[in-house]
Amino acid sequence: MDVLSVCGVILMLSVVFTSAFFQFSAIVWTICVGVTLTVLTVFGFLSITPAILFWIGFILAAAFANLHKLRQRYLIAPLLPVLKKQLPAISVTEREAIEAGNTWWEKELFNGRPEWRTLLAIPKPVLTQEEQDFLNNQVDQLCSMLDDWNIIFSERDLPEAVWQYLKNEKFFGMVIPKKYGGLGFSALLHSTVVTKIATRSISAAVNTMVPNSLGPAELLQHYGTEEQKSHYLPRLATGEEIPCFALTAPEAGSDASSIPDSGVVCKGMHEGVETLGIRLHWDKRYITLAPVATLLGLAFRLYDPDHLLGQCEDIGITLCLIPASHPGVEIGSRHYPMHLAFMNGPTRGKDVFIPIDWIIGGSKMAGNGWRMLMECLSIGRAISLPGLATACSKLVYRNTGPYARLRRQFNSPLSAFEGVEEALGYIAGYTYLLEAARIMTAGAVDLKIRPSIASAIAKYHMTELSRLAITHAMDIHAGHMIQVGPRNFLANLHSAIPISITVEGANILTRNLIIFGQGAIRCHPYLLKESELISAADTNIPELDKVLMKHIGFYTSNLLRNIAYGLSGGRFIIASFKNAKVKKLQRQLTRMSAALALLADTSLIMLGGSLKRRERISARLGDILSQLYLASAVLKYYNDNQQPADEVDYVRWSLQQCLQKIQIACDELFDNFPYRWVGKILSWIIFPFGQAYRAPDDQLHKNIVLPMLEPSALRDRLTQYCYTSNESSDTGHRLNLLLSQTATIEPMLKKVGAAVKDGIIPPNRYDTAARLRMAEKAGILTKEELIKLNEFEALRSEVIKVNEFSFDLAEVIA
């Protein structure tokens, strides 16, 4: 083949590649490829053999793409039975869960072509002045009233004064609109209030957040009749009614759609009048606020054997509101979750008759309960639990950094040891990730989006990151935080984290079944439509053909994009950030978004309905989507903060961490794909030169630790919603006071250390006060410096101390 023919082949392949890469329509690519091939053939740019091969390929491809009637009759129609078998069955409850809520940025990531400018152009979520005032005044006042040690080990409940303050200041009505007597605050404020209270008391935060998330108020706002709203919402806002919502049953936990609790439509007596209603039986547990609730929200399966509401006998899951004082309602005993003091307990009812209009939304909403729950679950997953998770990490960041700098072992600060520095680095990086994800996800809710997939990502990954941050903090504090008492700020966080892991969809379920399982159908541009058309009794063949052809073009485009990105390392992908290192990582996120689109489609094509049963495959695909979402939150947070220079290392660490997790998920997917040869091919396409992403290096890890160890603007930004007490006995107050003095104190300590090293004063390492006195006598320290050092060391000694109790521990918890 001569040079001219080689050039012709290259040009021809470039046109074909470009047409597929940019997913040109069938008619457009047919014209482009056809004209190019004709010109190259007529003017002799192709020798005989390449020309014949290109023409054969072109004619076959063009015929397949453009002869719609023939394709539908001889290909799509005969394939339909096969497609029906391959398609995973979708139950009614699965369909309701899939259709609940909205998709958002996660759909961009799933499709492989994220429009970063669209995300970054969304206005920064901010608090209004009214919300900021509430945070600075009412929330700070509440926090000042909380003594977590007393709440958990003495009262085992919030003090009555705290309950009354919560009611008086409408903490239970933060999300209830003002026209119903609530505060009408944003999701961001709701999240921030939960975060701030949780840095003081997890128990108080849970008691506060539950009435504002999944429960009667949220359900009434979206689905209640106007009569129900007008009656209940003002009473809920002021705390006159304390709500709970009963969903979990002994035999139906994460599988809430299988609840055995039932109600039968019938006629009965209510307030002396025969009324159409429901006779209920239920047995619920783990219900937060149930022991003190005055208003019970209840989920049950409704039956209508006498057809009093219509022709359907099994109406389905239904939600209703029942006053706790109603005859037959059993309520009041409590559970004791992980020794925390928030109210949680069982509720039961047997043969309880209620009027039909106690259904939330009235009788017309009977049977719609599962959809209602799925749509409102995003509130708890997007706001409350991420707020708790972020609070734990913020508090750990704020207090563990100073402790590691002030606590000394082997005559060196703990922070000087690389093992401790490594743990501190994870705390720092996770805190940045958590705050970024918290704000972006809450911001989505304020955009009137119900981000069902994003909220599942936030719930799972943020609670897991919080668990890791707390574990690293426990490793650093060691025995100091094992001993419970008023001095211990970490023990209750450590006890509480398993609760967040298990509630509102256990994390194992969320990762293995929900994130990708629902994400694939909701976020894929064609899958849901294909499923509907294929499963229909009378399939619309032309419409199915149209969707399938678009899907083929989508898959082909993603395949070629992955080949191009893999071979080029993604170097030519458009990125928008000013910092070159951040821009480079942004390109890799686009590259991995394209990889996810290819991997997801390939898995769906090759595994079909069996993918539902292959949870580990689904979980790894979900991990890729999740890490892309978390990385996106980091870029959004960084951009919203005006891309400050002091955050660059945190951004790089976070993005590298996310990309490494994606690498691990991809490698495990390749190695364990049911068809090993498919896994090998995918690996070669996406990572042709082997592993592309590694964990952040030691120097970057060190860089993100430094702001933890000294007063800094970045430290203040990351921990701005930690409650800071001014009480002299508060551990956090002591740590931060000591940290503020280190810049002044450390030069004095260095002078004393140099004097010891030079033999001017003896080491006397076990009596710091004596050593300092000798330094002052030797002229190493001035009298003023001696006073400052003694005061500093006395306060440092208080920080290191742990609580001691009498032998009779019953007195401690009596």
CA 398-404-408 angle, 5° bins: 150
Contact at 8 Å (CB) between 293 and 244? yes
> What is the sign of the dihedral through the CA atoms of 479, 481, 484 and 487?
positive
What whole-number distance in Å separates Cα of residue 318 and Cα of residue 341? Answer: 31
What lies within 8 Å, CB to CB, of 713 at 6+ separation is 646
Q: Is 428 left (phi over 0), alpha (psi -120 to 50) or beta?
A: alpha
Contact at 8 Å (CB) between 162 and 292? no
Indicate the angle between helix axes 26-42 and 3-21, nearest 10 degrees: 170
How many helices (DSSP H) and strands (DSSP E) are in the chain? 36, 9
Q: What is the DSSP secondary structure assignment for residue 225, as one 8-state letter?
A: -
Q: Which two tokens stand for residue 559?
A: 């395949």
Backbone angles phi, psi at 265, to 5 degrees: -70, 130
* SS3 label, residue 53: helix
Question: Residue 268: CA atoms inside 13 Å, Cβ hemisphere, count?
Answer: 14
Contact at 8 Å (CB) between 302 and 316? yes
Q: What is the 3-class SS of 441-493, one letter each residue?
A: HHHHHHCCCCEHHHHHHHHHHHHHHHHHHHHHHHHHHCHHHHCCCCCCCCHHH
Contact at 8 Å (CB) between 151 and 203? yes
Q: Which two tokens stand for residue 275?
A: 């009324």
Cα 689 to Cα 48, 563, 572, 657, 706: the distances in Å are 35, 12, 17, 20, 35
Pairing of strands 412-413, 295-303: unpaired
Pairing of strands 408-409, 412-413: antiparallel
What lies within 8 Å, CB to CB, of 287 at 6+ separation is 244, 245, 246, 247, 248, 293, 344, 345, 346, 347
CA 7-12-13 angle, 5° bins: 100
Contact at 8 Å (CB) between 679 and 610? no
Q: Which of 435, 464, 504, 785 is catalytic?
A: 504
Contact at 8 Å (CB) between 225 and 361? yes
- Tell me whether residue 776 is one of the annotated catalytic residues: no
Cα 312 to Cα 265, 303, 319, 530: the distances in Å are 11, 8, 17, 29
Pairing of strands 344-355, 329-331: antiparallel
Q: Which residues are catalytic?
A: 504
